[in-house]
Amino acid sequence: MTPFERVYLDHQATTPMDSRVLDAMEPWLRERHGNAASRSHVFGWEAGKAVEAARAVLAAGVGGRAREIVFTSGATESNNLALLGCARARKDKGMHLVSARTEHKSVLEPLEALEKEGFAITWLEVDGEGRLDPAHLKAALRPETILVSLMHANNEVGTLHPIREVGFLCKEHGVIFHCDAAQSFAKEPIDVEADGIDLLSASSHKIHGPKGLGFLWVRSRPQVSLEPLMFGGGHERGMRPGTLDVPGIVGMAKALEIAHEDREAEQDSIRKLRGALQALLIPAGGCTLNGPPTPRLAGNLNLSFEHVDGEALLASLEGIAASTGSACTSADLAPSHVLLAMGKSPAMARGSIRFSLGRGNTLAEIEWVAERVLEEVRRLRELSPLHKMATENS
Ligand code: PMP
């Protein structure tokens, strides 16, 4: 008999909704069903009030002002709005942008779309651990650079980027800095003022809130102008029309409050559990760590297992939820673009697995997962002709 039916180690793909979040949302899913834009009755007023209270909580969470929050359907939309909206609004000032190959697809693909519109993009290189060198950014900035987009925490390998240095360089050069904080929001300290951020993307479902919701924080002093991607209704100060998801917004703010109650202690305990899994798997598993030991997102453990296919390993780990590459691209069997950009071989990239730990995981779960992984790695290696050849020759 196995001690666990299922263990969830895929918190970077999404997180379970916290029951306190669901409780906060419930009245807004039932009797308090008003449209936050209805100005003529109490249903609308109470919904509007709840949205504004949530806006203030979320803005304070990143050190901004309530009116700077634009609600979206998630970080994918926030990234699209930030990049397409800002580049198109500023194209008279220049048509050059800077980003990195290790960004999420929801940054890479809008940037590729902008390239087709005539914008030039400089792609910064990262080192073997996915780290950026601010000196490379400094060298890439030109008089016609209008926007830099760099994430805070990498979703695949957990690398934390030096956003304060990036923000400082951007301010020095009068360039807008967009930061995709989907993975770090509510986990790592973020302060849009001190970090020099102008546009910040965040997502609710990565912080135990409801899915299909997020926001783009848009600096108002001085105002960063965005061309909207959609039209109709003038909501969110003309930047993102559509009836607001009141229950979801209330839930996202509650999720942030819960995360911030005890942020450091919670992240520390997640970091310790990740360290325990890492210590059990390296070197017993003949695997290497992808991404830096530090600074790294607390819950991320990305490992490459030599002579083992990551997909095959995942498939054999019944009841254990982890991922190869990022969840958004796990339907696509190409090796991870992030690991390739870090200079890993396609074979090592294919042998990689991301475990992402979060709230609720226990040491007993971690010990069981490590045991199961080591068992399956041994079994798969025995079946691998490459492994056989390597051990015969050694
Ligand atoms: N950016 C990063 C770094 C992410 O990890 C994700 C989620 N995989 C997104 C953007 C997209 O977020 P959402 O699911 O809210 O659209």
User: What is the three-class DSSP state of 352?
Assistant: strand
Residue nearest ligand 1's atom 6 by CA: 182
Is residue 385 within a helix (H) or strand (E), and if so which, with residue range? helix 385-393
The structure tokens listed for 155 are: 């979703």
What one-character-per-residue DSSP string does 89-127 give? Answer: HHTTT--EEEEETTS-HHHHHHHHHHHHTT-EEEEEP--
First to last CA, the chain: 38
Residue nearest ligand 1's atom 4 by CA: 182
Query: For ligand 1, which residues put their CB under 6 angstroms from it?
Result: 74-76, 79, 104, 106, 151, 155, 180, 182-183, 203, 214, 326, 328
Closest CA to 158 of 276, 19, 301: 301
60, 111, 159, 261, 344 from 337: Cα distances, Å = 34, 15, 15, 36, 10
- Give the pLDDT confidence of 147-185 residue by residue, as tens digits: 999 999 999 999 999 999 999 999 999 999 999 999 999
Please check the confidence at residue 353 and state whether its pLDDT lies above 60: yes
Q: Using CA atoms, how far apart are residues 273 and 253, in angstroms rounded to an integer?
A: 27
Q: Which residues are known to be catalytic?
A: 328
CB 51 within 8 A of CB 35: no
User: What is the whole-number distance in angstroms between the Cα of residue 14 and the centre of ligand 1?
Assistant: 9
Please check the confidence at residue 386 and state whether its pLDDT lies above 70: yes
CB 74 within 8 A of CB 205: yes
Residue nearest ligand 1's atom 5 by CA: 155
User: What is the three-class DSSP state of 200?
Assistant: strand
Q: Using CA atoms, how far apart are residues 228 and 230, in angstroms rounded to an integer?
A: 6
Which residue among 10, 161, 183 is best mutated to probe the pocket of ligand 1, counting the most ligand atoms within 8 A of its Cβ? 183
The structure tokens listed for 260 are: 């911030």
Which residue among 106, 154, 200, 208 is best mutated to probe the pocket of ligand 1, counting the most ligand atoms within 8 A of its Cβ? 106
Residues in contact with 374: Cβ distance below 8 Å, sequence separation at least 6, in sequence order: 280, 281, 284, 285
- Which ligand 1 atom is nearest residue 205's CA? 15
Q: Using CA atoms, how far apart are residues 182 and 151, in angstroms rounded to an integer?
A: 8
Amino acid code (one letter) for 350: R
Residue nearest ligand 1's atom 2 by CA: 182
Domains and CATH numbers, the chain: 7-16+262-393 (3.90.1150.10), 19-260 (3.40.640.10)
User: What is the whole-number distance in angstroms between the Cα of residue 327 and the centre of ligand 1?
Assistant: 9
Q: Using CA atoms, how far apart are residues 193 and 344, in angstroms rounded to an integer?
A: 36
pLDDT attached to residue 3: 86
Tokens 């400094």 locate to 138
Residue nearest ligand 1's atom 12 by CA: 75
User: What is the whole-number distance in angstroms between the Cα of residue 75 and the centre of ligand 1?
Assistant: 5
Please check the confidence at residue 328 and state whether its pLDDT lies above 60: no
The pLDDT confidence band at residue 331, using thresholds 50, 70 and 90, is low
User: What is the whole-number distance in angstroms between the Cα of residue 325 and the centre of ligand 1?
Assistant: 13
User: What is the whole-number distance in angstroms between the Cα of residue 303 and the centre of ligand 1?
Assistant: 21
- Beta strands 320-321 and 199-203: pairing type? unpaired
User: What is the whole-number distance in angstroms between the Cα of residue 206 and the centre of ligand 1?
Assistant: 8
User: What is the three-class DSSP state of 207?
Assistant: helix
DSSP state of 68: G
Please check the confidence at residue 333 and state whether its pLDDT lies above 90: no
The structure tokens listed for 247 are: 């229950």
Which residue among 150, 154, 180, 216 is best mutated to probe the pocket of ligand 1, counting the most ligand atoms within 8 A of its Cβ? 180
User: What is the whole-number distance in angstroms between the Cα of residue 330 and the centre of ligand 1?
Assistant: 13
- Sign, CA dihedral 157-255-210-74, equals negative
Q: Using CA atoms, how far apart are residues 179 and 379, in angstroms rounded to an integer?
A: 42
Average pLDDT over residues 142-147: 98
Q: Encode burial over 226-240: b for 16+ CB neighbours within 10 A, e otherwise.
A: bebbeeeeebbeebb
Angle between helices 363-383 and 263-281 (to 10 degrees): 30
- Give the pLDDT confidence of 74-96 residue by residue, as tens digits: 999 999 999 999 999 999 999 99
Average pLDDT over residues 8-36: 98
pLDDT attached to residue 264: 97
Please check the confidence at residue 9 and state whether its pLDDT lies above 90: yes
- Which ligand 1 atom is nearest residue 212's CA? 15
Q: Using CA atoms, how far apart are residues 61 and 92, in angstroms rounded to an integer?
A: 33
- Beta strands 300-305 and 7-8: pairing type? unpaired
CB-based burial label for 19 (10 Å; 0-12, 13-18, 19+): exposed
Q: Using CA atoms, how far apart are residues 124 and 140, in angstroms rounded to an integer?
A: 8
- Which ligand 1 atom is nearest residue 154's CA? 3
- Give the pLDDT confidence of 229-278 residue by residue, as tens digits: 999 988 999 999 999 999 999 999 999 999 999 999 999 999 999 999 99
